[in-house]
Structure 1
């Protein structure tokens, strides 16, 4: 992807940053929260309206429908992440951002018109139904364990199963449903379908309280009971759903890294300000090596995370699937940002564990980030398998 150039990207990023800092951050204390302490639809819609007015709604997708390349997207999404509300306001939040990317890559013209356009315009949220309940031994980090099924019935497909951690399902208008095909010509592969929400065949059965609360609609468990979907609402071809999942997941993992890097930039700013103002034992905290060194280590981790994001973005911009690179970035960035958030809490002491600043929330959200889109251990295992494959290939080549 060639992109729009550094100067134009910098202008968009600066506009987004000014909007998040000046307009969005004051809303962080807004009391409009649901019983899971997530932002209400009313609050999100108000913020989107302000972003639309400021010209920063869905800033990574241009007016002609073209998408910034991944390196350019990073510059923009990092800035939206400066507040937990920033991605919601600017329409760059998960799962919408990843779903928009997938539909833009794979969707037919009609699917784009009907399902992608409302997401880009910010007139509706979406949900990605892939993960399944662990209690049923369903698909989680291993999508090959998928137990939700789909079968043909005339000009429709019928889907049955259960899903878990379906982020934003409550209140979403667009759903992407993933199911394993029972049809012989699909060879047991998965299919993806686009559906309008709500649908009476998709029943929210439970919304667990989780450590994070930045996303409206919760992380829902749902039952899919004889969901009938017209055949023309299949995304791509039958049996190729796992391939499309990879098309989505690599840039989506990287987008998480981008947004949470912005959040940790902000947390580091707050901790730095605190350390330069707070006096203990006769001098400011930053002049105590134990505190000053933590902030210095933050600088190093933040820069390394930024460089890892840029490296992975460059790989994806070549058109490569980038699954190995995105796994490496997901591990390196999530673990580095966890260290940053933890140090920020520690530097601020008692203040760091209160909701007086956003630092406490950033710490909780980053902890979740280490699990979402594949926990660290799964990515390391995947990388270890690649190392073994490469070693075997090298050995075979050496003995020819």
Structure 2
């Protein structure tokens, strides 16, 4: 496997690194730049987005004809990691969840008319979006076969009834992708729909308070009571919802990991800087063996995560679904992020627990990583099931040609 990157990808990485250093980190250090939910205020965000567009660093993940830069998944891994050196980074470059995953799946699965109506405004940054799939008990979560929200065909429309919750970004989303049940067929029973915030027949019941900082629009509970969606707004076709979720969620899990690696590296950066500055018992913290062991272990775990992410990204670029590769990366990097934040706070002491650094922000954010897009235990069960099927072939290398 060739681990070198192209000069083009390196150029993007270097320009992103400079942009983050010069434009975003100074703003991140200003508490006045934060909104009430711990994210960047819109009046600070939009000027940065304009600069990112002007410098050709906008929507790197999309094809040029869509309005992006055409990076493959390996290139995205390099650039997303660099973007998330700052907690504000991904949203500045229009590469933050959930818009990131929604744009990629619309680009891949949408009709020309759907792309013009639903994708183009997202690419231009004029609207935000949400992906409405998860339901309260006893509805669907990690197991989509349990989905209870229904879509009943009535002429040229579908009528939606049901409830969703923890829908990221819903509070500010204009465009939604909705998963609903159209039949009891175990493989062809789900369908994906597109709808607009201004359509009647649904409401946001509440914005759910959470432990960590929030994406713009929060995490909301939605109620559907007669929402009518025209048949032309079915995405990929009736009964193809399970396929659509596979197309969207696999790459989205991996892009989470790409970004989390950037945050993990930032934790090490903050910890190392403080350890070199702080004296205790006659010597710098950085000289103490316990500190060196902690930082050395984190460096190794981050590099393991980078290798797992790169292998999964490479497999996706080769046309594979990369299910086991993505599951391994998801479990490892989610736990790594929590460990990196925890270790950095420990080294910084009370300073790390305060808001003087972004470590406490990252720590609160990190706990969700082991839950979103499939809990650790679900991914480990997927891996065991794959192992039971493939046995020793689980660990084989692909052969060129």
TM-score, length basis structure 2: 0.91
Aligned to 1:346: 346
Aligned to 2:195: 195
Aligned to 1:398: none
1:183-222 matches, within 5 Å, as: 189-222=189-222
Aligned to 1:90: 93
1:219-258 matches, within 5 Å, as: 219-258=219-258
Whether 1:111 aligns to 2:114 is yes
Residue 71 (structure 1) shift: 0.4
How far apart, in 1, do the equivalents of 2:278 and 2:214 lie? 29
Q: SS of the counterpart of 1:31?
A: helix
Q: SS of the counterpart of 2:379?
A: helix
Q: Hey, which bits of structure 1, 4+ residues long, moved more than 6 A?
A: none
Q: How many corresponding residue pairs?
A: 387
Q: SS of the counterpart of 1:319?
A: coil
Aligned to 1:314: 314
1:148-198: CA deviations, max 9, x gaps? 0001111111111100111001111210011010488x9761110111224
Q: SS of the counterpart of 2:85?
A: coil
Whether 1:153 aligns to 2:154 is yes
How far apart, in 1, do the equivalents of 2:353 and 2:309 lie? 29
1:72-130: CA deviations, max 9, x gaps? 11111111111111111111000111111111111111111111111112121110000
Residue 313 (structure 1) shift: 0.6
The equivalent position to 2:135 in structure 1, one of 91, 115, 132, is 132
Aligned to 2:57: 56
1:223-279: CA deviations, max 9, x gaps? 012111111111011111011101111110000000111111111111100000000
Q: Is the 8 A contact 1:165 1:219 kept in 2?
A: yes
Q: CA separation of 1:153/1:103 partners in 2, compared to 1, >3 Å: closer, same or farther?
A: same
1:229-308 matches, within 5 Å, as: 229-308=229-308
Q: Is the 8 A contact 1:246 1:323 kept in 2?
A: no
Q: SS of the counterpart of 1:378?
A: helix
Q: CA RMSD in A?
A: 2.0
Aligned to 1:44: 45
TM-score, length basis structure 1: 0.92
Residue 51 (structure 1) shift: 2.0
Q: Is the 8 A contact 2:188 2:242 kept in 1?
A: no
How far apart, in 1, do the equivalents of 2:223 and 2:248 lie? 24
Q: Is the 8 A contact 1:119 1:125 kept in 2?
A: yes
Q: Is the 8 A contact 1:301 1:336 kept in 2?
A: yes
Q: CA separation of 1:91/1:237 partners in 2, compared to 1, >3 Å: closer, same or farther?
A: same
Whether 1:67 aligns to 2:70 is yes
